[in-house]
Amino acid sequence: MARPQPRPSLDLVAGYHSAQVDVSVRLNTNESPEPPPAGFVEALKLALDQVQWNRYPDRSALQLRARIAQVESKQPFEDTQSEGDSSNSLTAKNVCVANGSNEILQSLCLAYGGPSRSVLTFEPSYALHEHIARVCGTEVIQLNRDSEFQLDLDEAVATIQASRPSITFLCSPNNPTAMVENAETVGVLLQAVESVDGLLVVDEAYGQFAAWTALNLVAEDRSLVVTRTYSKTWSAAALRLGYLIGPTWVIDQLEKVLLPYHLDAVTQAAGLLALDYQAEMEQRVETLVRERERVVQAFKDLPLQQWPSEANFILFRPHRSDTNPSEGDRVWQELVNRSVLVRNCSSWARLDGCLRVTLGTAEENDKFLAALSEVLR
Ligand code: PMP
């Protein structure tokens, strides 16, 4: 019997995996090193008693969306405050919630991508933008960043005008480079995207770690959405909860492709409760930003190149990668031998010899730095 064949376009798609190795210091998937606040866990246990297990959850997740709108409206957007008609009064109708921001990205591709449409990405960037687009049968146009991972804006605008992508993905801070985009870049891209009736998606999975956010540019008459997640700053990667902030007309379209009751009652309750711990979340971000500065300083004494990070991870490249193509693999393996796991990006396009380390606790970062100094000696 011949086996049923999947869609031909799936032949092009490889799975997306990060090695799950049993080590004592895990710094490979950009999670928070700390569990959520104890008060949150206790409150969630109590909230579980209120769940009506025999009933479907609130299909529109209205309470959660309203609370996210409230919290995100309160962000201090100093840099963009002068931009005019910025939306500082979001409502539930500006928010879409899903099982991780990956499901948000997938819903965007289902709604706006698909056959005979294309998405544009700026490489290197988050691999799932390309992956999800392909799974949804969407053509992917990839524009390379320069050797310092900066965008060539003229080239980007020309490509948008020539290729007319339905979606342009901009990741800021960018995974895996950790570099943030600025207001000018987002403004120029938005203008280009709108001139071809496209949508600009700014993926801010690491937005809270950066000095600048595109959130305040979201408005009803702009083709701009921002995606965020509970997986990093909210210490809740296990929860699988992400969201999008955007104009109501985008959310209306996403609701057509999301499955009925896609967000379960426990996730909705947990997401709602987590937002009561804003101060604790901000404290964790501050701690990680301080750790980031410490690791950046320590890196300066090591034989490696690093790129400016505004996220909870740092991309680096041992100098010896210049002459030895397998140096990235060697460093990764030697770190694993010392029970430290980082992300090996050394075979990814445009990232020859590079590794990416997630910032952990001070103790984890110390262990990582000690192991790395030994390995690079
Ligand atoms: N966007 C970026 C840039 C990411 O790095 C990640 C997680 N690795 C995601 C989105 C997805 O996060 P989640 O599905 O956990 O919300």
Measured from the Cα of 237, ligand 1's closest atom is 15
| CB-CB contact of 349 with 123 (8 Å) | yes
* Whole-number average pLDDT of the chain: 93
- State in Å: Cα 243 to ligand 1 middle: 11
Token pair in block for residue 174? 């960018």
Ligand 1 pocket test: which of 126, 169, 201, 244 has the largest number of ligand atoms within 8 Å of its C-beta? Answer: 126
Say which residues have a Cβ less than 8 Å from residue 279's Cβ, sequence separation at least 6: none
- State in Å: Cα 275 to ligand 1 middle: 19
Closest CA to 369 of 25, 34, 30: 25
- State in Å: Cα 374 to ligand 1 middle: 31
What does the alpha-carbon distance between residue 2 and residue 5 come to, in Å, rounded to a whole number? 9
Tell me the three state secondary structure of residue 356.
strand
Tell me, what's the pLDDT at 85? 46
- State in Å: Cα 229 to ligand 1 middle: 7
Residue 75: is its pLDDT beyond 60? no
Quick check: CB of 126 below 6 Å from ligand 1?
Answer: yes
What does the alpha-carbon distance between residue 167 and residue 190 come to, in Å, rounded to a whole number? 11
Residue 79: is its pLDDT beyond 60? no
Quick check: CB of 28 below 6 Å from ligand 1?
Answer: no
Closest CA to 316 of 22, 23, 21, 27: 27
Residue 336: is its pLDDT beyond 90? yes
Residue 1: is its pLDDT beyond 90? no
Residue 81: is its pLDDT beyond 60? no
Least confident span in 71-75, 195-199, 234-238, 291-295: 71-75
User: Which residue carries 């209205």 as its tokens?
Assistant: 62
Confidence of residue 160 (pLDDT cuts 50, 70, 90): very high
Average pLDDT over residues 134-151: 95
Measured from the Cα of 232, ligand 1's closest atom is 15
What does the alpha-carbon distance between residue 368 and residue 207 come to, in Å, rounded to a whole number? 25
- State in Å: Cα 342 to ligand 1 middle: 17
- State in Å: Cα 102 to ligand 1 middle: 6
pLDDT in tens, 9-35: 777 666 666 777 889 999 999 999 999
pTM, entire model:
0.94
Confidence of residue 84 (pLDDT cuts 50, 70, 90): very low
| CB-CB contact of 137 with 342 (8 Å) | no
pLDDT in tens, 191-242: 999 999 999 999 999 999 999 999 999 999 999 999 999 999 999 999 999 9
Say which residues have a Cβ less than 8 Å from residue 317's Cβ, sequence separation at least 6: 304, 305, 306, 328, 352, 353, 354, 355
Tell me, what's the pLDDT at 74? 60
Say which residues have a Cβ less than 8 Å from residue 141's Cβ, sequence separation at least 6: 118, 119, 120, 121, 159, 163, 165
Measured from the Cα of 125, ligand 1's closest atom is 3
SS3 helix, strand, coil % of the chain, rounded to 5? 45, 15, 40
